[in-house]
């Protein structure tokens, strides 16, 4: 089967010598990169093709997304994206691509809740006490933000919006320095990926106040979900595989089926879970519906926060 685009004809997912590329809009070593590399090897086995990961960080994932949006829709260039794909739709005043029309959703690979942590000297031990303190001292508490516009930034702003509290954001260029300043007591609080703070919680260097998943996490059964004190609150990062828009139904199905089989394979599931994440493997339509709902959801939070890109 061939695909026509602008008068040119391309083979649909051709069995060429060149590998399939998965572009990642984040640096090597981060969670998005890890998810892509975890998936790539098994996806390659499923497709009988070599699959390589190429990092193209910058602009909150927009550089990689733009490259995929403009790629030939033959299934040989894919995007491993993350929550910012939906957040950026309203965070950036203009984008060089349409986050819906210029992409073909294939599958959600995984979701990853975060955890709300505090420096031990902060006189609160749970979310209810935190909300009471924040209301008593508006603007006197602060959140460390690893990256403006990130899912963790939005988790904090969604918390403030729903709780009706004012907590000051302190932005950092990266999660590591943000965590270090909370550990040092320079900043009171932060929402962090579980993997980034798990050892510090267990060592008693940080207090865990709540998890952002709908239910408690198996790794921290004693830590309540934030939603237990703030009904309706839930915020998880997600990671998903996209192709360029206008991919043929045949190519879309072949890639989506292979990606879902890879996500559900024992090795990939185990590696995803070791990152504190939950494997998903949704259908293309389920993933498309989810992305649409996320764009609407995060628009409200971005507008509330008045957030601007770095």
**Which domains, ranges and CATH numbers included, belong to the chain?**
2-112+237-305 (3.40.190.150), 113-228 (3.40.190.10)
Q: How far apart are CA 237 and CA 114, in angstroms?
A: 8
Q: Which residue has the tokens 């590591």?
A: 176
Residue 4 is predicted with a pLDDT of 45
Question: Within 13 Å of residue 108, how many CA atoms lie on the same side as its CB?
Answer: 22
Q: How far apart are CA 219 and CA 222, in angstroms?
A: 9
Name residues of the chain where pLDDT drops below 70: 1-17, 310
Q: Whose CA is closest to 79, among 277, 291, 286, 271? A: 291
Residue 305 is predicted with a pLDDT of 79
Residue 17 is predicted with a pLDDT of 66
Q: Whose CA is closest to 304, among 123, 159, 126? A: 159
CA distances from 166 to 91, 133, 283 (A): 20, 11, 39
Q: Which residue has the tokens 């990642």?
A: 24
Residue 96 is predicted with a pLDDT of 96
Specify whether the CB–CB gap between 248 and 12 falls below 8 A. Answer: yes
Question: Within 13 Å of residue 44, how many CA atoms lie on the same side as its CB?
Answer: 17
Specify whether the CB–CB gap between 182 and 152 falls below 8 A. Answer: no
Residue 6 is predicted with a pLDDT of 45
Cβ atoms < 10 Å from Cβ of 157: 23
Q: Which residue has the tokens 């939070």?
A: 301
Tokens of 4: 């026509």
């Amino acid at each position: 089967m061939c695909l026509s685009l602008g008068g040119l004809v391309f083979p649909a997912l051709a069995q060429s010598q060149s590998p399939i590329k998965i572009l990642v809009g984040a640096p090597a070593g981060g969670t998005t990169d890890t998810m892509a590399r975890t998936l790539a090897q098994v996806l390659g086995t499923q497709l009988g093709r070599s699959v390589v990961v190429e990092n193209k960080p910058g602009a909150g994932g927009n550089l990689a997304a733009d490259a995929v949006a403009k790629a030939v829709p033959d299934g040989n260039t894919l995007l491993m994206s993350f929550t910012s794909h939906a957040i950026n739709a309203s965070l950036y005043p203009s984008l060089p691509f349409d986050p819906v029309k210029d992409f073909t959703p294939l599958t959600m690979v995984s979701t990853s809740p975060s955890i709300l942590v505090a420096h031990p000297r902060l006189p609160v031990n749970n979310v209810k006490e935190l909300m009471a303190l924040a209301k008593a001292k508006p603007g006197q508490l602060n959140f460390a933000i690893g990256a403006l516009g990130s899912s963790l930034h939005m988790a904090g702003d969604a918390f403030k919006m729903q709780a009706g509290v004012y907590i000051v954001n302190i932005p950092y260029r990266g999660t590591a320095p943000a965590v270090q300043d909370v550990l040092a007591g320079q900043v009171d609080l932060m929402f962090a990926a579980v993997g980034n703070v798990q050892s510090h919680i267990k060592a008693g260097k940080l207090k865990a106040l709540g998890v952002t998943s709908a239910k408690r996490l198996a790794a921290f059964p004693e830590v309540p979900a934030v939603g237990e004190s703030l009904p309706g609150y839930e915020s998880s990062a997600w990671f998903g595989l996209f192709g360029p828009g206008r991919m043929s139904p045949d190519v879309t199905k072949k890639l989506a089926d292979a990606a879902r089989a890879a996500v559900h394979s024992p090795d990939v599931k185990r590696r995803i879970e070791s990152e504190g994440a939950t494997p998903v493997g949704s259908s293309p339509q389920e993933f498309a519906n989810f992305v649409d709902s996320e764009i609407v959801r995060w628009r409200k939070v971005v507008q509330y926060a008045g957030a601007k890109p770095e």
